[in-house]
């Protein structure tokens, strides 16, 4: 009780800072409009008949993209299944619109008791499924209190996070007592949850649904069209999901690549839309010529950088490149890398920085296979890109190894959807 009270007091203190960041107007960021009230539990009722819904939470864009195939699989299994999908961010809400009538979207209420209770009373969900590890103590507590089973799907727990929880076990225990099931990505993830106190009966090893990724015909067509626009014969590499502090290193690497391969083109894709314009200015100030995707200006042989300033097009942009560098991995321990599997599924040779603790197993497996190269800095990135540009056979071999790795690990989507269906059948 004391721990829960302490948490609530801390939540009151940090909430203003969180809300300022959430609502701050930024370029290319969708507006919340009047829907901001949903974060405080003022949730609009669903007009159409909507009985016995399940509640699925995916915090933002990446999680919504990852969970989309699972939602489609669940609806294919049971067309009458009603799904409420919550996101915290407006960019996540924008991505959720692509699911159309498959779901009803609402914003996730903040973890205040009044907001959570209001949401649950209005929506009446029968089960909560949380993507990965977006765990909020009050949400879990009131779900259990209202007899709503909580399942963490595609769950991962890094060694770094596990060590942190061991140092402060009361924090994890606050969560643990209110989690019914965990569908873990890897055996290592499962064991870490067990080491922290979850029983083996509560855990099922499903694999990662992110392996069950396949570019759609529309995405492949869009990638081919973009490649044609950029230049079918010119060497192209992409830096995907860059963060502040990485763009300078990527630009420096490209400047080195250009000394050896002057016709090369870099596609750079900032992780957050509010940084699109600042990255564009950074490129211009570096002396490189840049064209942004949103400008729709023609790309010429003199264009050296193509700025991917659009949302929801990562597969298209990755597909248009020969070589993929996955960012979020060059700035120490701040981010811990991003998912390599989209590039792997597109049969691309992959480069990654030295910091990838959030995707440790996948990165190390791809590296061991020879499908991924770890680069410490701009100089190593430039060297590897130049080497791959000069050796098409090496490009093909590494891309094939990456694709084989993805295909050999697929199947989690089917296992996860069946596990969720069993939980639903037991509850509804």
Strand pairing of 305-307 and 265-270?
parallel
Asked whether the beta carbons of 322 and 388 are under 8 A apart, the reply is yes
| Contact between residue 187 and residue 203 where contact means Cβ atoms under 8 Å apart | no
Residue 352 near residue 326 (C-beta atoms within 8 A): yes
280 is catalytic: no
Measured at the CA of 218, the angle between CA 216 and CA 223, to 5 degrees, comes to: 95
Rounded Cα distance, 65 and 77, in Å: 20
Give the list of residues 6+ apart from residue 173 with CB closer than 8 angstroms, or none. Answer: 197
Q: What is the SS3 assignment for 188?
A: helix
Which residues are paired to 128 by β-bridges? 55, 150
Do 121 and 92 contact (CB within 8 A), yes or no? no
181: its two tokens:
């099931």
Q: Which residue has the tokens 């949850």?
A: 193
Token pair for 177: 């007592």
DSSP letter string, 15-75? HHHHHHHHH---TTPPP-GGGGGGGGT-PPPP-S---S-EEEE--SHHHHHHHHHHHHHHH
Catalytic residue among 63, 95, 104, 280: 63
| Separation of alpha carbons 186 and 199, rounded Å | 16
> Which of 273, 275, 348, 281 has the alpha carbon at shortest distance from 315?
348
Interatomic CA distance for residues 239 and 251, integer angstroms? 10
Catalytic positions: 63
């Amino acid at each position: 009780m004391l721990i829960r009270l302490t948490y609530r007091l801390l939540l009151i203190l940090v909430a203003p800072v969180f809300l300022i960041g959430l609502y701050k107007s930024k370029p290319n960021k969708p507006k919340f409009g009047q829907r901001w009230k949903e974060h405080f539990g003022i949730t609009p009722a669903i007009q159409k008949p909507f009985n016995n819904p399940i509640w699925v939470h995916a915090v933002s864009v990446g999680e919504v993209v990852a969970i989309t195939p699972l939602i489609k699989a669940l609806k294919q299994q049971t067309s009458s299944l009603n799904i409420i999908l919550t996101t915290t961010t407006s960019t996540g809400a924008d991505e959720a619109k692509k699911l159309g009538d498959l779901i009803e979207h609402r914003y996730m209420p903040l973890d205040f008791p009044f907001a959570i209770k209001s949401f649950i009373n209005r929506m009446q969900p029968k089960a909560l499924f949380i993507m990965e590890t977006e765990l909020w103590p009050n949400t879990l507590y009131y779900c259990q209190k209202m007899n709503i089973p909580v399942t963490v799907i595609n769950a991962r727990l890094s060694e770094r996070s596990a060590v942190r929880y061991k140092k402060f076990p009361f924090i994890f225990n606050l969560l643990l007592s209110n989690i019914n099931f965990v569908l873990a990505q890897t055996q290592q993830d499962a064991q870490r949850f067990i080491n922290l106190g979850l029983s083996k009966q509560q855990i099922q090893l499903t694999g990662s649904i992110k392996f069950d990724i396949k570019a759609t015909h529309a995405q492949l067509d869009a990638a081919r069209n973009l490649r044609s626009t950029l230049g079918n014969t010119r060497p192209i590499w992409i830096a995907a999901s860059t963060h502040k502090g990485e763009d300078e290193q990527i630009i420096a690497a490209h400047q080195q690549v250009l000394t050896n391969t002057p016709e090369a083109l870099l596609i750079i894709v900032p992780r957050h839309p509010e940084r699109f314009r600042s990255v564009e200015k950074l490129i211009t100030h570096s002396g490189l010529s840049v064209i942004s995707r949103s400008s729709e200006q023609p790309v010429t042989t003199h264009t050296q950088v193509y700025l991917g300033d659009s949302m929801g097009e990562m597969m298209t942009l990755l597909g248009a490149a020969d070589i993929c560098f996955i960012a979020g991995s060059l700035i120490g321990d701040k981010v811990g890398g991003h998912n390599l599997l989209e590039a792997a599924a597109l049969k691309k040779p992959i480069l990654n920085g030295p910091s990838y603790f959030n995707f440790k197993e996948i990165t190390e497996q791809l590296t061991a296979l020879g499908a991924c190269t770890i680069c410490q800095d701009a100089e190593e990135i430039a060297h590897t890109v130049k080497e791959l540009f000069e050796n098409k056979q090496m490009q093909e071999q590494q891309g094939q190894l990456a694709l084989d790795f993805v295909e050999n690990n697929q199947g989690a989507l089917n296992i996860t959807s069946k596990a969720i269906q069993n939980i639903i059948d037991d509850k509804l």
